[in-house]
Structure 1
Amino acid sequence: MKPEKLTVQELFSRERRFLIPLFQRSYVWNQEEQWAPLWEDILKRTLAHLERIGKSVEGKARSHFLGAIVLNVASVQGRGISRSDVIDGQQRLTTLQLFLAALRDTSETFDAAPEDIRRFRRLTRNPDCEQDSEEIHKVWPTNSDRPMFTKVMSAGSPDALKASYAGHEGGLPRMAQAYLYFSSAIREYVTAQECPHSVQDRFLALVQALTESLQLIVIELEEGDDPQVIFETLNARGQPLLPSDLIRNFVFMRISDAEGERLYRTYWQHFDTEEVEVANADGETRFWHIEERQGRLIRPRIDLFIFHYLTMQTENDIRIGQLFKEFRDWRDESTASNEDFLKELTVASRHFARLIAPGSKSRLEVFAGRLRSLDTSTVHPLLLFLASVEGSGINSPEIEQIVIDLESFMVRRFICGLTPKNYNRFFLSLLTKAKQAYSRRQAASADQPGTLPTVGQVIRDELLRSQEQTAVWPDDGKFLESWLTNPLYVVSRSDRSAMVLRALGETMTTSRNEQLDLAGPVTVEHLLPQKGRVEDYPYPDIEIPEGQDAASYRRILVNTIGNLTLLTGANNTAASNSAFPVKREKIVKDSDLRLNAWLRSDSRNTWTEQDILKRSEELFEHALKIWPKPPS
């Protein structure tokens, strides 16, 4: 490696393009963590130079180190401009260009010295290039960022950039935000009333800071240096890279530029560009970069996908903290071509999208939606495998039956309060057996498959086999006992009881009923309020289990399934702690859910523990239809 210390002026005054390879991630820096600290560093050095203007001061102003960048110098093609591929430091280089564009445009607005304006232009544009040529840009970002970068760099002013987003839904892209932030900061510096220096002197101080004080270490790789190793070694500096960033780098760094562009556009680009209609709380609109919670994990969807995909492929208990290493080792041993691997990865990503963001009423996606409430994702590798072979040796009815068995197994265990701690190993073992059964049937001759168990039979046998508490599939008796007495509603995870109630409501709906979409917000309502007055809900004269009194027994039953229903948020607030006749009237008036239809013909004026137990038994008949268990 050949290191060199360069100022910002020296780095960008050369006629050179800094090309960020397609395998690099999109722009992710933000104001709090990067833009503001960078501007603070620039401003400190600028103010130091401003104090020296017009004074006889010996020695050079103190320098400031802005970080390091690693470049791989590429050969020049024809009359093209010299090019360096950015191995590390792309976020820093891109941000400096956005800052310089803001400085260039602000200097023109405030009549800086003509020579300074020309200097700022040279730092953002390669000379002798057509205005619409991509070679005019000093930095050329990764594929997904290029249209945005071009738009920001050519806007000409903050007002023009804002106008270009008139009517745009959601927040501005990060590059636009960065440009506007630096424009505002520079404007505030230039117009500060307490500063005695002229506007031109203030721009001159910025020029001097860029020319003398603001420095970077530029490391150019030499023949024999391994860009991948260096990239991995340096990735922890600055904004931490995602495992998927390292994996993308690993895959595409081994592919030639021309072939890499084609494979990226065909198979990987959707990971970087596919968007959702509404941004999440962090302003993220890219589907695969939205963070999801799975158990203790909170990761972007792309990392979770690769984690489950790799688990499916290897059948190993992979730690997500070691995801890149595990992927690299697996890919090194794989004989599949780059294109075959990327093609399979793309297909698998479509299946995973159905699991992470269900959008249809297919039995697989209904199960996936319920899994989100159960907060269990260890079955995802098995579901990815099943989705990948559907229609190729396993027909849709068999897949549907497998999904019903898996859901019944998991929901019954949840209702019975059985631990999911062993699920990771259990479902890995199930995945292995399912893949083996599938391979055997695929390898068998046409007259043999009938003698071999199907994948569905193998999975069902495994689910039925164990009687241990960590893997037993509860029978109807244990299911009913827990259904009647185990509190289903827990304040911290009310979505779980809502999931069960939604499922019951769906099975009550027939072709004669309106099809209501329950995807929107609903809340769980207690028919006998948790804080209901005893005057409104007197204790009944019933047998109470040993060790309980009337109050403690009520506290248990009030959170069981027979006392719960679903309402919209507004209706829930209105019904609240009212006496039962008032509550029933409000629910009947405002709720169209089949789950509440029975209240229209109900005339009782009280709601007691006996009513809760009776309704639980009635709902249990529906639960058996949704979550059946075949005989052992």
Structure 2
Amino acid sequence: MRPDKKAVTDLFTERAQYLIPLFQRGYVWTLNEQVQPLWEDFVDRLEAIVQHQADAAMVGAGRLRPLRRHFLGTVVIGSLKGGSSDAVGNRDVIDGQQRITTLQILLLAFRDLVAPLKDEALIYDLKPLTQNIGRYRLASDTLKVLPTNVGRDVMQALAELGSAEKICERFPAKVGRQYQERPAMVRAYLFFHAMLACYLRGLRYDDVLPDAAADEERTVAHSVIRSIDADIYLKLPGADLPLQVERAHALLVTLREGFQIMSLELEDEDDPQIIFETLNARGAPLLPSDLIRNFIFLHATRNGEDVDELYRQGWQHFDETVDTSTGKGAKFWKQQERQGRLKNSRLDLLLYHYVGMRKCEDLKVAHVFNEFKDWWQDESRDTQRELARITHLAGYFQTFIVPGQASRLDLFCRRLKLLDVSTVTPLVLYLLEHHKPDSAEFLQAIGDLESYLVRRFICGYTTKSYNRTFLNRLLAEMVREQKTDAATLRDKLLSLQGDSQCWPDDEAFARNWCHRALYQGRNTSKVRAVLEALELSMRGSKQESLVLPDGLTVEHVLPQKWQTNWPLAEDTPENQERRRRLLHSIGNLTLVTQAFNSALSNEPFAMKRQEIVTTSLLMLNMHFQAFGENDAWEEAQIVSRSDKLFSYALSLWPRP
């Protein structure tokens, strides 16, 4: 690699285009984490340069130490390729695309802000830094930075529209009454434009605004960020003050003299993939999915494949699919999702389960890229075929993430989430590769898996060995034997032995169903999964198919604080222990709607029963309509209800 220290302006003086390879992630820098800190560094250098110039005017520049330049980090770029009279040459950006893109956005905002000043020197100096000047066949050749497909239209708009007002109109913060997040590049542009405007009017980013609300951050910068998020047009402090052209010239000097960046240009013998993986990028860390995307498409590039077409068919949907459940225009696969104790992006989780399925091994999300690379390089892979496989399973994985209630797969995934069991996902994805989700084979398979999981929960058996059970044993054996049928899976489930792995039989299921304290620790959502399934199973074919609301909560009929209004007939240690055990058993638990008056939870049964019956339409609670005003709810009634519910449980979760 050829190293070269450059000023910010030096990065863009060449008539060339920085090309962000298709396989790299889009622009991800945020205002709070990266953009505002960069502006703060910029102001620090700007003020130091202004002070240095003032001191030099007084005592002479020769008597002052040279000002240090602020180091902005490193960018790794490819050698210049192509270029002719009607086509601009380009350089691939191997590392540092966030930094290069941000600096170009800063220059575009600066150009647009000072344009109304009609200062010829500023216009002359900024034009070649923000535009490749020439007559090109492609309009995009004028761009100094060409992002990945996801950001190209945005960058084109920033380069061509010419004002913050037009940018705000093209990318509004809300449409009607519906708020939507502006693209990250637009947010950076608007922030820089606002900060530059404030500086040219004599305001600093950290100046305190006297009219800010008491509960708000009171600085200029925070006011601007709030406006970017909420207003169609930016509302800027000091907007009635004039722009000072001398301050604009000081800004340009700072860009030339206040910063340096290390540019590393690759030579022919350098491997861009190795360099990309080993460099520690400053700023937002690379996710496993970023590294995997880079790896796949660089592999395709080396093989001479049509990378643009591969991206459109096999990856673009991961970048652009909108999460309709939020109503905020957020990207579905970028959203964070909790599985177990950790949160990761949905795309990282998909690839984590996909690689686990392919390798039949339990992995850590942090190791997914290396595991994916090992699997990919284990044999020759067809890029188009593998992307099609990932895309196919991604459609099903969306149901795992946001399950509905329309299909059996929906209900299975909903119960998996409530049971907090994700280790079975690779096995289910394997089955979905070979069966349609409404096929008899698949329905039997997930029915058996659900029975296995629910019975083990009811019996209180550990989940710690599930990774070995589902991946290292069941999935690995089926892949090795090239089996995909439900009968084979059932036989393997039945062969599991010991409390750590067994599929509990009816005797163990019945014993624990009636007497085990289920509601304890972190089991609330798991109990809800069981009660929801019972509710649906109790509905007959003549009843309306109602969707269960997400706000249902688990309620103890005999309350946890029973001592005041629910005394024991005989207060003995044995009776207290029996009540304690049955208190949290399934017979004493039900679901109530949001309309339930929680203030009545500890009241006598007559009052509580009346509240449940009058506010709930659930079949689970029809049981309480048979009770009279003077009837009791005690241990015998709890056991009786458990027995009735067990008949539904046996039908729901059978074991051959």
TM-score, structure 2 normalization: 0.86
Mapped partners of 2:580, 2:535: distance in 1: 25
Match status 1:587 vs 2:641: no
Structure 1's 222 and 310: CA in aligned 2 closer, same or farther, altered over 3 A?
same
Structure 1's 116 and 52: CA in aligned 2 closer, same or farther, altered over 3 A?
farther
Match status 1:432 vs 2:458: no
- SS of the aligned residue for 1:468 comes to coil
Match status 1:273 vs 2:317: no
Kindly state the Cα deviation for residue 426 of structure 1 after the two structures are TM-superposed: 1.1
Which residues in structure 2 correspond to 1:202-217 (within 5 Å)? Answer: 202-217=247-262
Residue aligning to 2:365:
320
- SS of the aligned residue for 1:473 comes to coil
Which residues in structure 2 correspond to 1:92-171 (within 5 Å)? Answer: 92-108=99-115, 111=117, 113-128=119-134, 133-164=139-170, 165=172, 166-167=174-175, 169-171=179-181
Mapped partners of 2:458, 2:127: distance in 1: 67
- Cα pair 2:83 2:90 within 8 Å, conserved: no
Counterpart code for 1:88? D
Structure 1's 574 and 127: CA in aligned 2 closer, same or farther, altered over 3 A?
farther
Mapped partners of 1:129, 1:616: distance in 2: 81
Residue aligning to 1:537:
566
Mapped partners of 1:97, 1:36: distance in 2: 15
The root-mean-square deviation of aligned C-alpha atoms, in Å, is 2.7
- Cα pair 1:433 1:458 within 8 Å, conserved: no
- SS of the aligned residue for 1:123 comes to helix
Residue aligning to 1:58:
61
Kindly state the Cα deviation for residue 604 of structure 1 after the two structures are TM-superposed: 4.4
Mapped partners of 1:134, 1:208: distance in 2: 29
- Of 439, 443, 451 in structure 2, the residue corresponding to residue 408 of structure 1 is 451
- SS of the aligned residue for 2:306 comes to helix
Residue aligning to 1:382:
427
Mapped partners of 2:405, 2:531: distance in 1: 19
Residue aligning to 2:636:
610
Counterpart code for 1:494? T
Kindly state the Cα deviation for residue 549 of structure 1 after the two structures are TM-superposed: 4.9
Which residues in structure 2 correspond to 1:518-557 (within 5 Å)? Answer: 518-532=548-562, 534=564, 536-541=565-570, 548-550=574-576, 552-557=577-582
- Of 543, 549, 557 in structure 2, the residue corresponding to residue 513 of structure 1 is 543
Counterpart code for 1:294? Q
Residue aligning to 2:196:
186
Structure 1's 608 and 119: CA in aligned 2 closer, same or farther, altered over 3 A?
farther
Match status 1:285 vs 2:330: yes
Kindly state the Cα deviation for residue 23 of structure 1 after the two structures are TM-superposed: 0.4
Residue aligning to 2:95:
88
Counterpart code for 1:588? V
- Cα pair 2:181 2:329 within 8 Å, conserved: no
Mapped partners of 1:620, 1:411: distance in 2: 13
- Cα pair 2:29 2:283 within 8 Å, conserved: no
- Cα pair 1:463 1:473 within 8 Å, conserved: yes
Structure 1's 493 and 37: CA in aligned 2 closer, same or farther, altered over 3 A?
farther
Kindly state the Cα deviation for residue 231 of structure 1 after the two structures are TM-superposed: 0.4
Same amino acid, percent of matched pairs: 40
Q: Which moved more, 1:382-391 or 1:484-493?
A: 484-493
- SS of the aligned residue for 1:17 comes to strand
1:439-466 deviation digits (Å, cap 9, x = unpaired): 5xxxxxxxxxxxxxx8322221221223
Match status 1:34 vs 2:40: no
Q: Which runs of 5+ in 2 are unaligned?
A: 208-241
Mapped partners of 2:109, 2:27: distance in 1: 17
- Cα pair 1:95 1:178 within 8 Å, conserved: yes
Mapped partners of 1:118, 1:589: distance in 2: 77
- SS of the aligned residue for 1:318 comes to coil
Kindly state the Cα deviation for residue 108 of structure 1 after the two structures are TM-superposed: 3.3
Residue aligning to 1:422:
465
Match status 1:464 vs 2:488: no
Residue aligning to 2:218:
none
Structure 1's 485 and 548: CA in aligned 2 closer, same or farther, altered over 3 A?
same
Which residues in structure 2 correspond to 1:200-349 (within 5 Å)? Answer: 200-256=245-301, 259-279=306-326, 285-349=330-394
Mapped partners of 1:437, 1:603: distance in 2: 60
Residue aligning to 2:79:
73
1:517-557 deviation digits (Å, cap 9, x = unpaired): 114322112222223452x3232459x7xx6452x543432
Counterpart code for 1:420? T
- Cα pair 1:430 1:462 within 8 Å, conserved: yes
- Of 439, 442, 446 in structure 2, the residue corresponding to residue 396 of structure 1 is 439
TM-score, structure 1 normalization: 0.89
Kindly state the Cα deviation for residue 90 of structure 1 after the two structures are TM-superposed: 0.7
Structure 1's 436 and 332: CA in aligned 2 closer, same or farther, altered over 3 A?
closer
- SS of the aligned residue for 2:530 comes to helix
Structure 1's 290 and 45: CA in aligned 2 closer, same or farther, altered over 3 A?
same
Kindly state the Cα deviation for residue 69 of structure 1 after the two structures are TM-superposed: 0.6
Match status 1:577 vs 2:580: no
Q: Which moved more, 1:403-412 or 1:426-435?
A: 426-435
- SS of the aligned residue for 1:276 comes to coil
- SS of the aligned residue for 1:420 comes to coil
Structure 1's 314 and 10: CA in aligned 2 closer, same or farther, altered over 3 A?
same
Kindly state the Cα deviation for residue 356 of structure 1 after the two structures are TM-superposed: 2.5
Q: How many residues align?
A: 606
Structure 1's 192 and 580: CA in aligned 2 closer, same or farther, altered over 3 A?
farther
Q: Which moved more, 1:179-188 or 1:266-275?
A: 179-188
Mapped partners of 1:353, 1:38: distance in 2: 37
- Of 410, 416, 419 in structure 2, the residue corresponding to residue 371 of structure 1 is 416
- SS of the aligned residue for 1:70 comes to strand
1:268-302 deviation digits (Å, cap 9, x = unpaired): 1111111111449xx78222122222223322121
Structure 1's 157 and 592: CA in aligned 2 closer, same or farther, altered over 3 A?
farther
Counterpart code for 2:625? R
Mapped partners of 2:155, 2:263: distance in 1: 23
- SS of the aligned residue for 1:217 comes to strand
- Cα pair 1:480 1:620 within 8 Å, conserved: yes
Residue aligning to 2:527:
497
Structure 1's 77 and 108: CA in aligned 2 closer, same or farther, altered over 3 A?
closer
- SS of the aligned residue for 2:92 comes to strand
Counterpart code for 1:584? R
- Cα pair 1:288 1:301 within 8 Å, conserved: yes
- SS of the aligned residue for 1:73 comes to coil
- Of 171, 181, 185 in structure 2, the residue corresponding to residue 175 of structure 1 is 185
- Cα pair 2:46 2:251 within 8 Å, conserved: yes
- Cα pair 1:308 1:380 within 8 Å, conserved: yes
